[in-house]
Amino acid sequence: MSKTLAFVGTYTGDDETNGIYVYRLDSVYGALEPISAIGGIKNPSFVAISPNRKNLYAVSEIANFEGTSMGGVSAFSIDLEKGELQHINDEHCGGSGPCHLSVDQTGKYVVVANYGGGSVSMLPIQEDGSLGVLSDFHQHEGANMNEGRQTKSHAHSFFIDNSNRHALCADLGIDKVMIYKLDLENGKLVPSGHAPIQPGAGPRHLDFHPNGKFIYVINELDNMMNVLNYNAETGETSDVEQVPTLPADFDGKSYCADVHITSDGRFLYGSNRGHNSIVIYSVDAESGKLTLVGHEPTQGDHPRNFCIDPSGQFLFVANQNNDNIVPFRIDSDTGELSETGHITKVKKPVCVKMIVT
């Protein structure tokens, strides 16, 4: 019988006793049942899972990995039956403060966004799931109009498109989505231009429509969602529209974080930290354009990131400042969210990833 496992990356601070937590999903009620946890890695904030589900990779979001001025990436093996992780090895990632990573669909490479260093990197994956030495590195240059947050590049996420041809980095510091062609033969990231985002926007995360024709970019600083046309063969983009993530009458401070689309492409969600909500849009399949459905309070403070479970029934929000993960049931007809009541307590959750075993 199949089961769904959830892996939660966290900020550990100086306490490295536990950093990545493993849960089993109750597919009826949306509850997360704790199984195990593993420590020894500082700030394993973001995790990614290999296509064969045998390995998990986590950034170590620091600037002094093993005495260097860089952050690190760690490899783990996954025991699917026991729901346990075992540490394999670590490698530096070339830049400081790595905050996001993805595994390509062949399972041969990890790509990493280094927020502090304003760079991206690529590391090979060996046959045993361990990480090899850095195979490529690119430093981003530039700045933009926000003097507090955009004095230099801040690569905030690095996603691989549905075709496995390109990797796209949302760079908050320079208001660009940097586009790289994946050279999987040589382990290289080939620069292929960029998608400009409006000045002061602070692009943070993105997601691809299942049809591969549209990209949704959520912007941390101006609280807008950008919709882009996307050509997977060339990596070229063009603007479709920009829509707000906050209600028109909200006048407080808020900063966007994460964005995810449902597997059927009908609904898009984004997280607002400050307003403490998930914004819900319906998606037009032909144009990619968005229509606001509403906002759902996250029942916690600072909804850093969230995930939709593999079945599409539930959405799980990681409220970083409340040390909890709150599940919501997704209405498949309207996209609206409703609480399940099964809240999980975990210290400073940042990232939630799920797989079916």
Report pLDDT digits (tens) over 201-223.
999 999 999 999 999 999 999 99
Confidence at residue 148, expressed as pLDDT on a 0 to 100 scale: 93
Whether the CB-CB separation of 274 and 253 falls below 8 Å is answered with yes
Whether pTM > 0.75 for this model: the answer is yes
Give mean pLDDT, residues 343-357. 97
What percentage of the chain exceeds 70 in pLDDT? Answer: 100
Confidence at residue 248, expressed as pLDDT on a 0 to 100 scale: 96
Q: Which residue segments constitute the domains of the chain, with CATH numbers given?
A: 64-72+93-342 (2.130.10.10)
Mind listing the pLDDT tens digit for each residue in 219-276?
999 999 999 999 999 999 999 999 999 999 999 999 999 999 999 999 999 999 999 9
Answer yes or no: is pLDDT of 15 > 90. no
Give the Cα separation of 298 and 303 in Å (integer). Answer: 7
Give mean pLDDT, residues 87-104. 98
Whole-angstrom Cα Rg for the chain: 19
Across the beta sheet with 20-25, what order do the strands follow? 32-38, 20-25, 4-10, 349-356
Confidence at residue 239, expressed as pLDDT on a 0 to 100 scale: 98
Residue 51, phi then psi, degrees to nearest 5: -60, -30
Residue 75: strand pairing partners:
57, 89
Give mean pLDDT, residues 272-288. 98
Confidence at residue 17, expressed as pLDDT on a 0 to 100 scale: 86
Handedness of CA 84, 89, 94, 96 (dihedral sign): positive
Give the Cα separation of 204 and 217 in Å (integer). Answer: 7
> Which runs of consecutive H residues, i.e. helices, occur in the chain?
none
> Cα 14–116–259 angle (5° rounding)?
95
Residue 66, phi then psi, degrees to nearest 5: 50, 40
DSSP per-residue letters across 264-313: TSSEEEEEEETTTEEEEEEE-TTT--EEEEEEEE-SSS-EEEEEE-TTSS
Neighbours of 243 (CB within 10 A): 18
Answer yes or no: is pLDDT of 301 > 90. yes
- Provide CB contacts within 8 A for 277, sequence distance 6+: 271, 295, 296, 297, 298, 303
Confidence at residue 2, expressed as pLDDT on a 0 to 100 scale: 82
CA 200 to chain CA centroid, Å, is 21
Cα distances (Å, whole numbers) of residue 60 to 204, 296, 325 = 19, 31, 21
Give the Cα separation of 218 and 125 in Å (integer). Answer: 30
Answer yes or no: is pLDDT of 117 > 90. yes
Give mean pLDDT, residues 283-305. 97
Give the Cα separation of 335 and 295 in Å (integer). Answer: 11
Residue with tokens 């530096």: 92
* Residue 220 CA neighbour count, 13 Å, CB half: 24
Whether the CB-CB separation of 8 and 20 falls below 8 Å is answered with yes
Give the Cα separation of 67 and 39 in Å (integer). Answer: 19
Residue 16 pLDDT grade (very low, low, confident, very high; cuts 50, 70, 90): confident
Confidence at residue 198, expressed as pLDDT on a 0 to 100 scale: 98
> Cα 122–127–132 angle (5° rounding)?
35
Mind listing the pLDDT tens digit for each residue in 148-191?
999 999 999 999 999 999 999 999 999 999 999 999 999 999 99
> Of how many residues is the chain composed?
357
As a whole number, the mean pLDDT across the chain is 97
